[in-house]
Structure 1
Amino acid sequence: MAKAYAGGCHCGAVRFECDLDPAAETSRCSCSICAKGRFWKTIAKKDAFRLVKGADMVTEYGFGSGIIRHCFCRRCGIKPFGRGNMEVLGGVFYAVNVACLDGDAPLQFAAREIVFQDGANNDWSQSPAETRHL
Structure 2
Amino acid sequence: MTDVLTRRADFLAANRGLRNARAGFVLLTRPNGAEGMRYGITVTKKIGNAVVRNRMKRRFRELLRAVLSEHGLPDHDHVLIGRSGGIERDFHLMKAELVQALERARAGRSDPGRGRRPRRGSRAGAKQ
What is the TM-score with the length of structure 1 in the denominator?
A: 0.27
Larger proportion of strand: 1
The structure whose RCO (Cα within 8 Å, separation 6+) is larger is 2
Give the greater-gyration-radius structure (CA): 2
